[in-house]
């Protein structure tokens, strides 16, 4: 079943002292373009996360973000009491001020705060991995939901093109008569007597030149092939794009051979339907 490349997934996992939030979103792209945003102490796990996502997703511009929120009593930064006290003593030698005010100044001095380096925890990493897989699963579900909308859109455009194609034969007889009439008028204007057999031969030549039976047949076959692939079990947006190119080629050939205002109008309408189909194909996985 066809899927969209647009999607979003979010998962939150709770630990005793931390909250893990994973968000993933994707847009259309010719290949898998994966961008990760991780806490610094999880950089060593980046390759593992990339492998997880690449196994589950095929194409798309994907942004994956992992947030770790500290809910416990510990803080990532601690006051360096020794350094702060030294700053206060030095300032008291200069000015006899209130200790509270001196403390406010001291904590803003260099090295007054020391950052505690966080390290990846095995239990925490296991929860991160679970959250990533769940977020990706939600993204895939989102893509499938969007894909059902795309399916109905593609089906509508194919039906419309097929319907317009079926209206073309109604102009065939009139088109032949117009060619005959044009040739007769051209010969009459020359004021020359022509051999009827020769005239019939020339008429057959022109009719063969403007014949669109093969183009109509190929266009109909391409439409059937498009629907066959659209209804397949896997999502194959690239293949559908190639078929759409063939549809455009046959429609353009019919238009160049039409030589009839009514048929040209049908061709323009078919082109309009095909452009709408191609526009949505850009987002098909």
pLDDT digits (tens, 9 = 90+) for 256-265: 887 778 888 9
pLDDT in tens, 262-283: 888 999 999 999 999 999 998 8
Q: Which H helix or E strand runs over 176?
A: helix 172-190
Query: Can you give the pLDDT at residue 130?
Result: 92
pLDDT less than 70: residues of the chain: 72-77, 114-120, 179-180, 183-209
- The pLDDT score that the predictor gives to residue 274 is 93
The predicted pLDDT at position 236 comes to 82
Could you give the CA distance from residue 206 to residue 201 in angstroms, rounded to a whole number?
9
Helices (H) and strands (E) in the chain, counts: 9, 6
Cα 285 from Cα 263, distance rounded (Å)? 34
Contact partners, residue 19, CB within 8 Å, separation at least 6: 12, 13, 67, 68, 69, 71
* Domains of the chain by residue range: 7-73+121-142, 77-115, 147-281
Report how far residue 123's alpha carbon sits from residue 150's, in angstroms, rounded to the nearest whole number: 41
CATH of domain 7-73+121-142: 3.30.230.10
pLDDT at 208: 65
For position 170, what pLDDT does the model report? 84
């Amino acid at each position: 079943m066809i899927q969209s490349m647009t999607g979003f997934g979010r998962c939150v996992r709770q630990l005793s002292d931390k909250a893990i939030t994973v968000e993933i979103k994707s847009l259309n792209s010719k290949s898998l373009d994966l961008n990760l945003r991780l806490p610094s102490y999880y950089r060593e796990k980046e390759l593992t996360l990339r492998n997880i996502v690449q196994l589950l997703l095929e194409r798309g511009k994907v942004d994956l973000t992992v947030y770790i929120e500290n809910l416990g009593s510990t803080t990532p930064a601690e006051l360096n009491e020794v350094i702060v006290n030294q700053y206060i003593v030095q300032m008291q030698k200069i000015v006899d001020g209130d200790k509270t005010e001196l403390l406010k100044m001291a904590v803003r001095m260099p090295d007054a705060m020391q950052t505690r380096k966080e390290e990846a925890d095995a239990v925490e990493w296991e929860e991160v991995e679970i959250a990533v897989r769940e977020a990706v699963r939600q993204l895939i579900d989102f893509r499938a939901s969007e894909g059902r909308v795309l399916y109905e859109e593609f089906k509508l455009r194919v039906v419309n093109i097929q319907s317009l194609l079926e209206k073309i034969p109604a102009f065939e007889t009139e088109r032949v008569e117009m060619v005959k009439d044009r040739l007769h008028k051209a010969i009459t204007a020359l004021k020359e007597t022509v051999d009827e057999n020769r005239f019939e031969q020339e008429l057959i030549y022109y009719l063969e030149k403007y014949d669109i039976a093969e183009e109509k047949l190929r266009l109909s076959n391409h439409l059937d092939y498009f629907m066959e692939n659209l209804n397949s079990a896997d999502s194959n947006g690239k293949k559908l794009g190639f078929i759409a190119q063939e549809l455009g080629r046959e429609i353009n050939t019919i238009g160049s051979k039409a030589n009839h205002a009514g048929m040209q109008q049908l061709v323009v309408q078919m082109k309009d339907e095909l452009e709408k189909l191609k526009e949505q194909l850009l987002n098909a996985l």
